[in-house]
Structure 1
Amino acid sequence: MKIVGISGALSGQKTSQMVNDCLYAVKKANLDVEIELIDLKDFDIEFMQGVPLSYYNDDTQTVVNKILKADGIVIGTPIYQASISGSLKNLLDLMPERAFKGKVVGYISNAGSDKHFMVAQFNLEPIIRFLGGIIPPKNVFVNFDHFDPEDNIIIDKRVKERIMDFGKMLVKMTEQLGSDY
């Protein structure tokens, strides 16, 4: 079983740190699970043009195919202007219809204000559902105040506990789904 984490930010370290923490929680819940971080900063993803995947550059094809091959997915996004990041939205636009069918797709988001804690639910969940993903009942929001300002690691104990619970839930649901498909 493989679970990939997508860090949907092109700048900063908070989002990739959150996704790494989720992948660590997944691995702690089941040592046999293969994990991989897809940090969009590390790839040259082309803008969606409405052409077949084979027309896009190697990085775009590589990232899309890694996601398609995964059994489970955790998506991390910062909240910009009360929405998910544009780079993440572009990546999701590149996905074929029903790309997430039979996959558990959870998410973690971060923002500078608690006022944005439901943005991912309203912006990201409809896209995940359209692509056929199964969303865990609990996902995680991290306020910038929950990070150490020097090294961008999460320092809030309750947030760390929620991430660990999220990882366990993601593994359990993915395992259960794998036996059903």
Structure 2
Amino acid sequence: MKLVGISGALIGAKTAKMVNEVLIRAKQKDPDLDIELIDLRDYQIEFVVGKPLESYNDDTKNVIEKIVGADFFVIGTPVYQASITGALKNLFDHLPTTVFESKVVGYVSTAGSNHHSLVAENQLRPILSFFKALVASKNVFVSNDSFNSENEIINVDVDRRLSELADELLFLQQKLKG
């Protein structure tokens, strides 16, 4: 089984850190699990302009192929201007509409304050529903005060919730695969 994490941030490290934490925790619980982090900071994903996928650059094609080939996912986004990132939305616009169909997807979101705690729930969940994903229930929101200056998680509740999300993703995926 392949669990792919997608960090939808183009700057900063907190979102990628959160997504990677879920990947690592899932791998610790299932050593046979294949994990991969797609950190959008590492790729030059072109803007969608309506042309076929093969017409886009290699980074765009490579990332889409990795996502299409995965069995289940954890997606992360920081909250900018009370919304998910444009980079993540652009990535979704590249994906075939069946990419998450009947696949388990969890998510994490980060923001400067708790005022943005429901952004992912109100914006990311409907997108995942459009893609017919099986959305996890133990998704995690984290505000900046849960990190220290080295971007390490210092909030024990967040730490616990990340483990619970990893557990839920594995449980749902195993049940789905029978």
Match of 1:91 in 2: 91
1:82-103 superposed Cα distances (whole Å, 9 cap, x missing partner)? 1001101100111111210121
Q: Distance in 2 between matches of 1:112 and 1:155?
A: 15
Percent identity at matched positions?
A: 50
How far is the alpha carbon of 1:178 from its aligned partner? Answer: 2.1
1:169 aligns with 2:168: yes
Q: TM-score, normalised by structure 1?
A: 0.96
Q: Distance in 2 between matches of 1:96 and 1:34?
A: 23
Count of residues in correspondence between the two structures: 178
Q: Distance in 1 between matches of 2:109 and 2:163?
A: 15
1:26-70 superposed Cα distances (whole Å, 9 cap, x missing partner)? 112211111000000101100011122111111101101101110
1:92-133 superposed Cα distances (whole Å, 9 cap, x missing partner)? 111111210121011000001111111001110111111121
Match of 1:51 in 2: 51
Q: TM-score, normalised by structure 2?
A: 0.98
Q: Distance in 2 between matches of 1:161 and 1:35?
A: 20
Match of 2:140 in 1: 140
Backbone CA RMSD of aligned residues = 0.8
Match of 1:128 in 2: 128
Alignment gaps of 5+ in structure 2:
none
Alignment gaps of 5+ in structure 1:
none
Contact 1:100 1:128 (C-alpha < 8 Å) held by counterparts? yes
Contact 1:74 1:107 (C-alpha < 8 Å) held by counterparts? yes
